[in-house]
Amino acid sequence: MPDHSNTVAIVTGAGHGIGRAIALRLAQQGAAVCTMDINGQQAEETANLLRKSGHKALVKVADIADFGAVDRAVAETEAELGAIGLLVNNAGFTDSGDIDGISLADWHREVDVNLNGPYHCLRAILPGMKARGRGVIVNISSVNGVRFFGNPAYSAAKAGIINLTQSVASEYGRHGIRCNAVLPGSVRTKNASWEIRVRKDPDVFRKLARWYPLGRVAEPEDVANAVSFLASDEASYITGVSLPVDGGLLAGMNVMIDEFILEAKD
């Protein structure tokens, strides 16, 4: 089992959904976790869950799109918990429309949070990791980063994270730093875009399941398991990869095959 004892981790967006599951998993495996989130109440709720089960947790409120706020939060975390050994760049969102429907302001905000935000966290944390000669980063991208599944601003930013992951892995490997990305498919969270879809159709996750070779959408814990592995010493020779955690979605078009190709043979 992955062991994260003696690791100080920052998990961005740890106040909710996938980030909360990641924070819980890392804490269960020994990490002291800073739950960094724009929503202080949610970040506090996650930290309290960790503390109730006997784990060390710290809350920092920061908008990752604001480099100054991130830099301060990182410095305070290092002062209170010690040197940061693990960064999980998880915070992100989408609520925008298609290319001709999205406002310029919405495009900029999605890129600011989903791409510039993770870069801000890297920029604040990498110098310390480099000086110590060790560190691990896991970036949460998406299957949207490699195929078009809607939300173009979000998707462009998530594609950027994949390349950023490769840049960090290449430039910092010699300093003992590993950097990998995780690409979730549909994950059953209550994020704003899923809440809108669930309100329109309460059955949306069951209907989506047919597109996934494994026959279900992901739970946040499926992503947390992958993050925990990539962050652990068990992955000590893995860097620069983008790991789909997508039930096989990117592996093939099984709905197309079932409906059009196999049917044609009847």
Ligand X SMILES: NC(=O)c1ccc[n+]([C@@H]2O[C@H](COP(=O)([O-])OP(=O)(O)OC[C@H]3O[C@@H](n4cnc5c(N)ncnc54)[C@H](O)[C@@H]3O)[C@@H](O)[C@H]2O)c1
Q: Tell me which of 2, 4, 7, 13 binds ligand X, using CB under 6 A.
A: 13
Q: Which stretch binds ligand X (CB under 6 A): 60-68, 99-107, 163-171, 253-261?
A: 60-68
- The three state secondary structure string of 136-201 is EEEEECCHHHCCCCCCHHHHHHHHHHHHHHHHHHHHHHHHCEEEEEEEECCECCCCHHHHHHHHHC
Residue closest to 55 by CA, chosen among 86, 75, 31, 73: 31
Q: What is the dihedral of CA 142, 149, 43, 74, to 10 degrees?
A: 40
Nearer CB in complex with ligand X: 121/235: 121
22 touching ligand X, by CB under 6 A: no
7 touching ligand X, by CB under 6 A: no
28 touching ligand X, by CB under 6 A: no
Q: Specify whether the CB–CB gap between 64 and 70 falls below 8 A.
A: yes
96 touching ligand X, by CB under 6 A: no
181 touching ligand X, by CB under 6 A: no
162 touching ligand X, by CB under 6 A: no
Angle (CA) 128-34-223 rounded to 5° is 100
Q: Tell me which of 27, 73, 81, 113 binds ligand X, using CB under 6 A.
A: 113
Please tell me which residue in 60, 119, 154, 212 is annotated as part of the active site: 154
Token readout for 204 is 């949306």
Per-residue burial over 182-210, b if 16 or more Cβ lie within 10 Å, else e, is bbbbbbbbebeebeeeeeeeeebbeebee
Q: Specify whether the CB–CB gap between 139 and 64 falls below 8 A.
A: no
Q: Specify whether the CB–CB gap between 89 and 116 falls below 8 A.
A: no
Number of residues that bind ligand X (CB under 6 A): 28
Q: DSSP assignment, residue 48?
A: H
Q: Report in angstroms how near the CB of residue 168 gets to ligand X at its nearest.
A: 17
Q: Which stretch binds ligand X (CB under 6 A): 72-80, 99-107, 184-192, 254-262?
A: 184-192
92 touching ligand X, by CB under 6 A: yes
Token readout for 200 is 């329109």
247 touching ligand X, by CB under 6 A: no
Please confirm, yes or no, whether 154 is among the known catalytic residues.
yes
225 touching ligand X, by CB under 6 A: no
187 touching ligand X, by CB under 6 A: yes
Instruction: Give Cα 20 distance to the centre of its chain.
Output: 11
Q: Tell me which of 10, 27, 84, 91 binds ligand X, using CB under 6 A.
A: 91
Please tell me which residue in 60, 158, 172, 212 is annotated as part of the active site: 158
Contacts of 211 (CB under 8 A, 6+ apart): 249, 254, 255
Q: Tell me which of 15, 85, 244, 247 binds ligand X, using CB under 6 A.
A: 15
Nearer CB in complex with ligand X: 31/187: 187
The site for ligand X (CB under 6 A) is made up of 12-13, 15-19, 37-39, 42, 63-65, 90-93, 113, 117, 140, 142, 184, 186-187, 189-191
Q: Which residues are catalytic?
A: 154, 158
